[in-house]
Structure 1
Amino acid sequence: MTSLTNARLVLPDRVEAGDLHLDGAEIAAAPVPGAAAVDLGGRYVVPGFVDMHVHGGAGASYQSGVADDARRAAAFHLSRGTTTTVASLVTGTPEELRAAVACLAPLAAEGVVAGVHLEGPYLARARCGAHDPDLLRAPDPAEFAALADLAGGHLRMITIAPELPGALDLVRAAAARGVLAAVGHTEATAATVRAAFDAGARAATHLFNAMRPLHHREGGPVAAALADPRVTVELIGDGMHVAADVAALVFAAAGADRVALVTDAMAAAGLGDGDYRLGVMDVAVRGGRATLAGGTSMAGSTITLADAFRRAVRAGVPLPDAARAASLTPARALGLDGRIGTLEPGKRADLVVLEEDLTVARVMRGGRWTGPPGLPDLPPAPGQDALDLRTGQDVGDN
């Protein structure tokens, strides 16, 4: 039981000075008797970040089928403020995808990740990006159903190129199972994309990237997604995939209630330049930019969602809007906004404490403090017992 005092609370529509009360793993409406107070010294508090598209980090990939790899990647992003992670998988063989889903499903049940995102294999060859074109295939209802069954209710999202044969039927099948269908890696026209949205697709995977570009005579996926109020558009916030002025234009066109900042981060996130793997593809990271080895196609990013959030604010997006795009909007797209995404009473106590420059000071998930490592403890409120902000326990407790 804790009260975070002297904070600047970032709410969906404003920043408000005040206190935030916690009762165990949940946010409380009022102070809990006997709660310890932590004076945040005027720091910002935002809801925990929600990354609906991330492939790995800290040298580990969700694709490997190794539970310890998934735990390491999720722990890294958690320490940087991402309290909810959907583990994204690139295109693989049927056997590789089954192994990865079988590995991730129990971790989702445990809460390490919030579910699985299949970014493929039903993608357009002409827009394959960092996916192996030889492994792409037409939508297969039986394969999809088997993977969804294997996920045990934890398949959260699937990206589909809607122009492929059978794609609209697969969109309908995904929607019927409560799986978020997204259009992406597509050469589709605006009319075909609109048909996918009418069939039940409700998201666009990394808008602009790996899709037919916006053109004044054929708006393609970009125009169709921005114009449809039902659709959430992902935006990779690394400043490389989408220019800052274009990102600001997307916020202006769609609003923060429909823009979801994502990282599309791969194993190199948190590490330096070097050579890595994304699925079966070799990736070279130079100057923080990840590209397919020997080519120029970008292969995910190396950022955290906290980086994307800061970059959005620096591009002129108001702080509450950037926070919504990094928390509430993706939570709503995933159907998780009843428990996470805002600092409302009754929701899980997932939050990030930010310094004045918006760097991460502390992270809380489910009422427990965590990283990032190596930062000094925040000062306790005068006259209150100090808390160990790495564990959430009173100093000296046994």
Structure 2
Amino acid sequence: MSLQQQLHGQVLTPDGWVHGQIRFDQTSGRIDAIASETGDARDTAGSEYYILPGFVDLHVHGAGGKDTMEAGDAVQVIAREHARHGTTSLLATTMTAPMADIEVALRAIQPVIAQRPSGTARVLGVHLEGPYINPGKLGAQPDFAGLGSLQQVQHLHAIAPIRLITVAPEMPGHLDLVRELAATGMQVQIGHTLGTYEEGVAALENGAKGFTHLYNAMSRLDHRAPGMVGAALAHAQFSEIIPDLLHVHPGAIRAAMRAIPHLYCVTDSTAASGMPDGQYMLGRQVVHKCLGGVRLEDGTLAGSTLTMDQALRNLVSIGLSLEEASKRVSTYAADYLGLTERGRLSAGAFADLVVLDRQLNLIAVYVEGEKIDLANA
């Protein structure tokens, strides 16, 4: 039985804004049509609202007091908390850890990927952030970095689908690994790296497509030694960035947007997201939430408490149009994974959408046509 839903407002489509209605089928979870309204059909109340594509977050460690590495029901709790903030699809992101811990985490993630629990964001797969990183640039990752192999990654992929993997290409054998992984269709990106500009360019030439949390945990840009940041700014088409205005200065965000055509936003969120100040876990590390940030004991930034609705507002606050900001929190991330039916509002696409008021506060969220309970999800 088909259950039709109809919303009115300013609808952001791939061709621009449409004042009108968006109709979708709650049974199929797909958009049926977007139609403009004029004259007597104009819905004046609806004109107070913006209807945007649901947010797509490719770097999510936790929320609601839960961390992806905990296993159990952690990922379901995380996906429910992020849905309350407009994220309609995400990648569950692991931490560098002993291989046995990663396997346990992936086994717990797999059922949530296979069948989306009601009230949650769609978990598209796994972002394996390590352990194939440089031990000299761990950031907030535990000290379990190691060298990777295609066989080992394929073993993990058989447990739960890995859609994205972070690799430090300067480590022994890792340039070959980048090439081998890219040949399988896996999206490889550069991160937690001390690599040079030249090593970054070589990784891109061998199949890497993006960068993990640009600027953070990578060799910096200097005019005589451009580093990995320089490689990204000079050559990348895609890259993550964390727009909490704490990890990266607004000026550096804007510079990256001018250089990287499809720069997209991630939260790099932790268990502390949506929770009060206090002590939480990030993989095997204890982290502390205070004054809007999350840090290790030594003060190192350790992920964030950012949600994607706040990311959108932050982008607008630094001067982006709402249309441009929407692409950075939805469309470009979907494009990066080749998801043509998410991150945009058009007939036939999934009914993943958010409704916001004029102050960009969330009014409603729909995941594949299902309305999310924002208060008690």
TM-score of the pair, normalised by structure 1: 0.87
Deviation at 1:30, TM superposition (A): 5.7
SS, match of residue 114 in structure 1? strand
Contact in 1 for aligned 2:25/2:32 (Cα 8 Å): yes
Structure 1 window deviating more from structure 2 (270-279 vs 17-26): it is 17-26
- The residue type paired with residue 179 of structure 1 is M
Deviation at 1:215, TM superposition (A): 0.9
Q: Please name the residue that 1:150 is paired with.
A: 159
Alpha-carbon distance in 2 for matches of 1:322, 1:11? 14
Q: Aligned ranges for residues 219-238 of structure 1 at < 5 Å?
A: 219-229=226-236, 231-238=237-244
Match of 1:186 among 168, 193, 200: 193
Q: Deviations over 1:135-191 (max 9, x none)?
A: 11112333212111222xx21111000100111121122212222101000011111
Deviation at 1:13, TM superposition (A): 6.0
Structure 1 window deviating more from structure 2 (37-46 vs 184-193): it is 37-46
Alpha-carbon distance in 2 for matches of 1:328, 1:371? 24
- The residue type paired with residue 130 of structure 1 is A
Deviation at 1:303, TM superposition (A): 1.2
Alpha-carbon distance in 1 for matches of 2:343, 2:70? 29
Q: Aligned ranges for residues 121-270 of structure 1 at < 5 Å?
A: 121-133=131-143, 135-151=144-160, 154-229=161-236, 231-255=237-261, 258-270=262-274
Deviation at 1:18, TM superposition (A): 2.2
Q: Please name the residue that 1:355 is paired with.
A: 357
- The residue type paired with residue 96 of structure 2 is T
Deviation at 1:38, TM superposition (A): 11
1:116 aligns with 2:129: no
Alpha-carbon distance in 1 for matches of 2:344, 2:363? 19
Percent of residue pairs bearing the same amino acid type: 36
Q: Please name the residue that 2:61 is paired with.
A: 55
Contact in 2 for aligned 1:4/1:38 (Cα 8 Å): no
SS, match of residue 270 in structure 1? coil
Q: Aligned ranges for residues 2-41 of structure 1 at < 5 Å?
A: 2-5=5-8, 7-12=9-14, 14-24=16-26, 25-29=29-33, 40-41=46-47
Alpha-carbon distance in 2 for matches of 1:125, 1:279? 16
Alpha-carbon distance in 2 for matches of 1:54, 1:288? 17
Match of 1:99 among 88, 97, 104: 104
Q: Aligned ranges for residues 281-292 of structure 1 at < 5 Å?
A: 281-292=285-296
Contact in 2 for aligned 1:81/1:352 (Cα 8 Å): yes
1:65 aligns with 2:65: no
Q: Deviations over 1:201-223 (max 9, x none)?
A: 11100000000011111212222
SS, match of residue 124 in structure 2? coil
Contact in 1 for aligned 2:21/2:34 (Cα 8 Å): no
- The residue type paired with residue 296 of structure 1 is G
Alpha-carbon distance in 2 for matches of 1:12, 1:237? 23
Alpha-carbon distance in 2 for matches of 1:11, 1:226? 29
Alpha-carbon distance in 1 for matches of 2:154, 2:44? 48
Alpha-carbon distance in 1 for matches of 2:258, 2:34? 36
SS, match of residue 29 in structure 1? strand
Q: Please name the residue that 1:75 is paired with.
A: 80
Alpha-carbon distance in 2 for matches of 1:314, 1:271? 24
Q: Please name the residue that 2:95 is paired with.
A: 90
- The residue type paired with residue 40 of structure 1 is G
- The residue type paired with residue 117 of structure 1 is H
Structure 1 window deviating more from structure 2 (363-372 vs 349-358): it is 363-372
* Structure 2 unaligned spans of 5+: 36-42, 117-121
Residue 128 to residue 21, structure 1, CA distance change in 2 (3 Å): same
The count of corresponding residues between Structure 1 and Structure 2 is 360
Deviation at 1:352, TM superposition (A): 0.3
Structure 1 window deviating more from structure 2 (82-91 vs 165-174): it is 165-174
- The residue type paired with residue 235 of structure 1 is I
Deviation at 1:14, TM superposition (A): 3.5
Q: Deviations over 1:339-363 (max 9, x none)?
A: 1010011000000001111111110
SS, match of residue 115 in structure 1? strand
Alpha-carbon distance in 1 for matches of 2:44, 2:31? 15
